[in-house]
Amino acid sequence: MRIITGKARGLKLKTPKNFFTRPTADRVKESLFNVLNGLINFSETKSVLDIFAGTGALGLESISRGAKEATFIDVATTQIIRENLQRAKFGGCEIFRGDFEKILRRLGKKNLSFDLIFSDPPYDTGLAQKSLELVAELTLLNGLMIVEHGAQEILSGDFEIVRKIIYGRTTAITIFERKTT
């Protein structure tokens, strides 16, 4: 697992050992960021939120491409995220360890919003849908939300689907944006 392009191009990321994590494959990440390059300008992206961050690869890739800051949430791998941030020499980031719902509610109380949100929970657990609903309820999204989920999961909510990409039989990525009225 590595950072694909930008300031930290080629940096190999530290990955967790003995955790039940499923890092986004480099080919899937590269495909996703190719799509995102057509939708957003990373140098104009102020804030990124990486929910179920694991290694922090998605938020780190965003910063490497020009995003200003990132916030990472994970229940178990915050030390690995911290080490990857240090190795990439990225500052301006916050890392929260704990239940994503409680942390999102705290962020919502601070009236924060994010230009880009990634949610990459364990597949087929309902957490992808739950994260989508919470982000909408707490009005945390200011731009795009990218949800990686099981290919059989159907997600719906208060956002419009910009694009859905299916990778093989197990992985799908759905890109959402706020509905325009």
Which of these, 94, 103, 47, lies nearest to 75 by C-alpha position? 103
pLDDT of residue 19: 56
Residue spans of the domains in the chain: they are 43-178
**Residue in this structure with the two tokens 């990439």, named with its chain if needed:** 88
pLDDT of residue 18: 64
> What percent of the chain is predicted at pLDDT more than 90?
85
User: Binning pLDDT at 50, 70 and 90, where does residue 168 land?
Assistant: confident
User: Binning pLDDT at 50, 70 and 90, where does residue 17 land?
Assistant: confident
pLDDT tens string 88-101: 999 889 999 999 99
What is the average per-residue pLDDT within 144-163? 95
Residue 11 has pLDDT above 60, yes or no: yes
Q: What is the pTM of this model?
A: 0.95
108 neighbors 100 (Cβ within 8 angstroms): no
- Retrieve residue 70's tokens: 């990132």
**What homologous superfamily does CATH list for 43-178?**
Vaccinia Virus protein VP39 (3.40.50.150)
**Residue in this structure with the two tokens 């967790």, named with its chain if needed:** 16
What type of residue is 100?
A: F
pLDDT of residue 92: 83
